[in-house]
């Protein structure tokens, strides 16, 4: 039972032996250079060596440690440099920027690998007893700042859940499965696959994130149109807290007062640790197809998406790129053969004849999966709607390239960081009636805020995760760094994007969580009394405030702390670091 899935590279995304291979995507870097106004190429800046990473001096409480070690095995309690650095951050821009520059100020003092709910409870009880802070850790893929320590007063433990990875029970008749919360996406799907089943949850982070992390942050998978967001899939769960275990009953639905599943979902580690969940599952699809389409313009694509909702069509994924994101996607395409280059030229000519103004054209990926007869039926209906709004099918081969590379996109950031380019994302959701105004305002806000530092912006957007009332709106941005002002540049753009969401009827995040990155906007989203209600739950389940303290609770001046995180690098580190002896 002590098998652990591997950690991602400590300074970037993905497995240590994986990365972005620009030779396989020859169009990408020229495209990026043109967009970002990079005229002279300098040699790439590699990350600092692990040995050179600066760590806060560990705060150690010997009696706490002794209590842990009396129950857990030696290999479950780690304090090595590597383990501390790995657990310092998630994979947001601020995280990776600091790590590459050799700073791990967010690192915990200790890492614990529980192998059972009992191990989790032992750790939480000892932590509560000795006033030690606990930060639950899944795959470490979070990009909203959920994992960094926010205080240097108390000892901090990162609780890494990856050894709790078993699918415990599959009820094929009821389409449910009970699983430990530390299981990673591929492992989970492999175990369900043995029963002919799938969970249907495929976020961009799928390879490197866990069930518990998905639930704690209200994650959305690429195929949420069919399978729902993670909160729609939870039937029952168990959460270990400093006050004991909260456990709900495995029933399809209930009217038993406030739904306490929803107190655990989205709690971002602030109340306890989700140890297992019973999830809704599905037979593995008989058929799956991901055709691509091109629309003459963004608005037409949007109208087609909404009309699919209106007519109750059921694709499993719909993803509409705006013209800029379309250009990025095309530039990202793998190298084409001579033959397909010729075919592509012919097709472009055809599109011009059809009246397409190519720089305004928008790529729409659409997936269908499930029973063979349903897939065919739904695709026919969607095709008819798309045609009505000017969409032209690019066939299923574009879809194949999307399928082959769908988890690779985050690798680009490491490639770009190495070339002193900052990239990040801000995403939200809003009503159909509000998507175009929000889109225009936010694209403007992002571009203006980049331009303020005097460099050209790239920004693009895609619409996905369709609901009856609207959809998710996802912005990607990038720009050249200015030496010494990197964090300042990032903060200006990130703040402009998030503030635009608030000013234009959107939410702080559709599926990336609150963390520290989005915390200043929480009260605007759920009202000050909503924040107070969340604080009240925390007081009830975590009276000692040991669980991921600082999250979900904005301070009186939330922007002040927000601006301080990570910049200037090391300022916080120097504050306090001491070996505390037991009180």
Query: Least distance from C-beta 240 to a second copy, angstroms?
Result: 10
Residues 245, 334 contacting (CB under 8 angstroms)? no
Candidates 4, 254, 341, 344; binder of a second copy (CB under 8 A) is 254
Candidates 15, 75, 79, 259; binder of a second copy (CB under 8 A) is 259
Our finding on whether 231 is near a second copy (CB under 8 A) is yes
- For tokens 């994986």, what's the residue? 18
Query: Least distance from C-beta 246 to a second copy, angstroms?
Result: 4
Residues 132-191 that bind a second copy (CB under 8 A): 171, 173-176
The C-alpha torsion from 481 through 484 and 487 to 493, rounded to 10°, is: -50
Q: Which runs of consecutive H residues, i.e. helices, occur in 101-144?
A: 117-130
Q: Contact letters (x/-) for a second copy, 328-367, by CB under 8 A?
A: ----------------------------------------
Report how far residue 199's alpha carbon sits from residue 282's, in angstroms, rounded to the nearest whole number: 6
Residues 292-331 that bind a second copy (CB under 8 A): 306, 309-312, 314
Candidates 514, 546, 565, 573; binder of a second copy (CB under 8 A) is 514
Angle at 182 between CA 176 and CA 184, to 5 degrees: 80
Residues 424-453 that bind a second copy (CB under 8 A): 428-434
Our finding on whether 31 is near a second copy (CB under 8 A) is no
Residues 445, 497 contacting (CB under 8 angstroms)? yes
Listed residue (76, 215, 212, 82) closest to 138, CA to CA:
212
Q: Which is nearer to a second copy, 153 or 503 (CB)?
A: 503
Residue 439 annotated to the active site: no
Report how far residue 183's alpha carbon sits from residue 4's, in angstroms, rounded to the nearest whole number: 10
Our finding on whether 469 is near a second copy (CB under 8 A) is yes
Angle at 86 between CA 80 and CA 91, to 5 degrees: 170
Structure tokens at 352: 């011009």
Candidates 348, 354, 532, 574; binder of a second copy (CB under 8 A) is 532
Q: For 153, left (φ over 0), alpha (ψ -120 to 50), or beta?
A: alpha
Task: Tell whether the torsion through CA atoms of 500, 503, 506 and 512 is positive or negative.
Answer: positive
Our finding on whether 245 is near a second copy (CB under 8 A) is yes
Our finding on whether 518 is near a second copy (CB under 8 A) is yes
Q: Which is nearer to a second copy, 186 or 543 (CB)?
A: 543
Residue 56 makes CB contacts below 8 A (sequence gap 6+) with 104, 105, 107, 109, 152, 573, 577
Strand, helix or coil for residue 179: strand
Residues 470-509 that bind a second copy (CB under 8 A): 470-472, 505-509
Q: Which is nearer to a second copy, 261 or 398 (CB)?
A: 261
Q: Which is nearer to a second copy, 243 or 420 (CB)?
A: 243
Our finding on whether 2 is near a second copy (CB under 8 A) is no
Our finding on whether 462 is near a second copy (CB under 8 A) is no
Question: Among residues 89, 439, 474, 490, which one is catalytic?
Answer: 474
Residues 287, 370 contacting (CB under 8 angstroms)? yes
Our finding on whether 241 is near a second copy (CB under 8 A) is yes
Report how far residue 487's alpha carbon sits from residue 532's, in angstroms, rounded to the nearest whole number: 31
Query: Least distance from C-beta 200 to a second copy, angstroms?
Result: 11
Note if the bond before 568 is cis, omega within 30 degrees.
yes
Q: Which is nearer to a second copy, 26 or 228 (CB)?
A: 228
Candidates 539, 556, 582, 583; binder of a second copy (CB under 8 A) is 539
Q: Which is nearer to a second copy, 451 or 533 (CB)?
A: 533
Query: Least distance from C-beta 329 to a second copy, angstroms?
Result: 24
DSSP 13: S
Report how far residue 470's alpha carbon sits from residue 211's, in angstroms, rounded to the nearest whole number: 26
Residues 549-568 that bind a second copy (CB under 8 A): 552
Our finding on whether 219 is near a second copy (CB under 8 A) is yes
Strand, helix or coil for residue 36: helix
Q: From the DSSP assignment, how many helices (H) and strands (E) are in the chain? A: 20, 19
Binding region for a second copy (CB under 8 A) out of 80-88, 98-106, 347-355, 467-475: 467-475
Residues 147, 123 contacting (CB under 8 angstroms)? no
Query: Least distance from C-beta 270 to a second copy, angstroms?
Result: 8
Query: Least distance from C-beta 278 to a second copy, angstroms?
Result: 9
Q: Which is nearer to a second copy, 103 or 464 (CB)?
A: 464
Strand, helix or coil for residue 64: helix
Candidates 130, 208, 462, 510; binder of a second copy (CB under 8 A) is 510
Residues 314, 226 contacting (CB under 8 angstroms)? yes
Active site residues: 474
């Amino acid at each position: 039972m002590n098998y652990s899935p591997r950690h991602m590279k400590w300074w970037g995304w993905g497995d240590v032996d994986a990365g972005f291979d620009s030779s396989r995507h020859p169009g990408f870097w020229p495209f990026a250079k043109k967009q970002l106004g990079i005229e002279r190429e300098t040699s790439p800046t590699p990350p600092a060596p692990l040995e050179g990473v600066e760590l806060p001096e560990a705060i150690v409480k010997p009696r706490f440690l002794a209590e842990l070690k009396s129950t857990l095995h030696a290999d479950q309690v780690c304090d090595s440099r590597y383990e501390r650095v790995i657990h310092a951050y998630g994979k947001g821009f601020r995280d990776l920027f600091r790590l590459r520059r050799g700073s791990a100020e967010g690192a915990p003092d200790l890492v614990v690998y529980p192998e059972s709910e009992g191990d989790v409870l032992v750790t939480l009880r000892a932590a509560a007893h000795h006033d030690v802070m606990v930060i639950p850790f899944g795959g470490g893929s979070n990009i909203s700042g959920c994992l960094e320590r926010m205080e240097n007063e108390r000892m901090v433990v990162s609780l890494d859940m990856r050894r709790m990875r078993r699918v415990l029970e599959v009820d094929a008749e009821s389409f449910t499965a009970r699983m430990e919360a530390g299981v990673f996406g591929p492992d989970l799907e492999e175990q369900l696959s043995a029963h002919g089943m799938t969970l249907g949850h495929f976020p961009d982070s799928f390879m490197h994130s866990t069930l518990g992390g998905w639930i704690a942050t209200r994650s959305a998978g690429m195929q949420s149109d069919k399978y729902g967001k993670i909160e729609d899939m939870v039937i029952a769960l168990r959460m270990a807290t400093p006050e004991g275990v909260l456990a709900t009953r495995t029933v399809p639905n209930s009217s038993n007062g406030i739904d306490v599943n929803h107190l655990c979902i989205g709690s971002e580690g602030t109340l306890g640790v989700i140890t297992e969940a019973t999830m809704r599952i599905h037979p593995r699809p008989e058929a799956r197809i991901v055709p691509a389409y091109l629309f003459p313009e963004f608005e037409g694509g949007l109208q087609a998406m909404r009309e699919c909702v209106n007519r109750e069509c059921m694709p499993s994924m719909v993803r509409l790129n705006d013209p800029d994101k379309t250009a990025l996607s095309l530039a990202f395409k793998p190298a084409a053969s001579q033959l397909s280059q010729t075919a592509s030229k012919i097709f472009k000519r055809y599109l011009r004849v059809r009246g397409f103004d190519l720089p305004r054209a928008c790529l729409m990926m659409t997936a269908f999966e499930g029973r063979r007869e349903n897939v065919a039926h739904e695709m026919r209906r969607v095709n008819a709607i798309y045609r009505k709004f000017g969409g032209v099918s690019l066939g299923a081969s574009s879809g194949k390239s999307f399928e082959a590379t769908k988890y690779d996109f985050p690798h680009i950031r490491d490639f770009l960081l190495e070339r002193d380019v900052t990239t990040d994302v801000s995403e939200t959701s809003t009503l159909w009636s509000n998507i175009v105004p929000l889109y225009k305002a936010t694209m403007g806000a992002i571009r203006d805020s980049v331009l303020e530092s005097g460099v050209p912006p790239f920004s693009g957007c895609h619409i996905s995760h369709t609901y009856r009332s609207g959809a998710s709106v996802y912005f990607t941005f990038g720009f050249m760094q200015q030496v010494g002002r990197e964090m300042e540049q990032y903060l200006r753009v990130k703040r402009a994007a998030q503030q635009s969401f608030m000013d234009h009827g959107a939410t702080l995040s559709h599926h990336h969580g609150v963390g520290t990155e989005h915390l200043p906007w929480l009260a605007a989203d759920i009202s000050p009394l909503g924040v107070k209600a969340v604080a009240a739950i925390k007081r009830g389940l975590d009276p000692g405030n040991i669980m991921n303290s600082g999250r979900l609770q904005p301070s009186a001046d939330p922007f002040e702390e927000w601006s301080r995180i990570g910049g200037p690098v090391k300022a916080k580190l120097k504050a306090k670091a001491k070996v505390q002896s037991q009180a």
